[in-house]
């Protein structure tokens, strides 16, 4: 991943609280809303053990995966969301600071309103099949303005893969494969069923983090507390 200042402050805040983010569509009227999620826009959302299996499945992509993790941090991201590009900086710092003790997972939440978020997620997933998830994510985020409304995204993402010296036959096959499409679709379905409010969303163990300023300290403090209580 690209390296920039770890204390980057995100630009603005959603009216419903939390770090500036790309909002998800309103849930369907028949959807079941948890008491924690519906009580208050700024309330801490907790997840049940069953929901944790959905949040952090065994095959989720891990950017840190210590042998004996003392905590799990799950990021739901949309590669077309500008706030996710900024959040990437904070995750990089957490990776550097806590990678020996915290498992950090990355899930896809390509919001339907973002034209090219789904193919961007497939590009990162295809690169991940060759061990280059972070490198492709970095390229995709860095050049977000170049592809977000482009009609030729397949060739654009292939050019990033070439720059990373990936096996291009494998990349193209994985990018177009049903397995990768289904992985991205499953992540999206999980995010929607869990009624995550937008991207980026961070869950530490069974608690959704409510970031107010976007400063790194707002991730660092709960991580420190989680490790101290382990």
- Do the domain assignments include residue 11? no
Based on the structure, what is the number of domains in the chain? 1
218: left (phi over 0), alpha (psi -120 to 50) or beta: alpha
In the chain, the DSSP E strands lie at 22-23, 61-64, 71-77, 102-108, 198-199, 201-204, 207-208
pTM: 0.84
Q: Domain for residue 6, yes or no?
A: no
In a domain, 39, yes or no: yes
Q: How far apart are CA 163 and CA 203, in angstroms?
A: 32
Strand, helix or coil at 208? strand
Structural domain contains residue 166:
yes
Residue 155 has pLDDT above 60, yes or no: yes
Contacts of 184 (CB under 8 A, 6+ apart): 108, 110, 118, 121, 122, 125
| Residue 27 pLDDT grade (very low, low, confident, very high; cuts 50, 70, 90) | low
96 domain residue, yes or no: yes
Residue 159 lies in a domain: yes
pLDDT, tens only, 31-62: 333 333 333 334 558 999 889 999 999 999 99
> Domain of 221?
22-228
What average pLDDT does the structure give for the chain? Answer: 86
């Amino acid at each position: 991943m690209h390296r920039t200042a770890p204390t980057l402050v995100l630009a603005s805040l959603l009216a419903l609280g939390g770090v500036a983010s790309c909002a998800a569509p309103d849930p369907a009227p028949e959807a079941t809303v948890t008491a924690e999620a519906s009580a208050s826009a700024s309330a801490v959302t907790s997840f049940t053990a069953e929901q944790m299996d959905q949040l952090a499945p065994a095959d989720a992509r891990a950017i840190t995966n210590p042998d004996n993790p003392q905590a799990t941090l799950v990021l739901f991201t949309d590669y077309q969301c500008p706030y996710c590009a900024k959040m990437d900086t904070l995750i990089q710092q957490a990776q550097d600071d806590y990678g020996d003790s915290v498992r950090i997972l990355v899930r896809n939440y390509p919001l339907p309103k973002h034209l090219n978020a789904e193919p961007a997620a497939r590009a990162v997933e295809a690169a991940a099949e060759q061990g280059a998830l972070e490198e492709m994510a970095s390229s995709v985020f860095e050049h977000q303005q170049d592809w977000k409304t482009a009609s030729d995204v397949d060739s654009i993402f292939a050019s990033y893969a070439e720059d990373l010296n990936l096996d291009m036959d494998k990349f193209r096959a994985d990018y177009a494969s049903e397995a990768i499409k289904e992985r991205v679709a499953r992540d999206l379905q999980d995010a929607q069923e869990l009624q995550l409010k937008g991207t980026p969303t961070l869950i530490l163990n069974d608690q959704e983090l409510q970031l107010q300023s976007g400063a790194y300290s707002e991730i660092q403090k709960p991580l420190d507390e989680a490790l101290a209580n382990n």
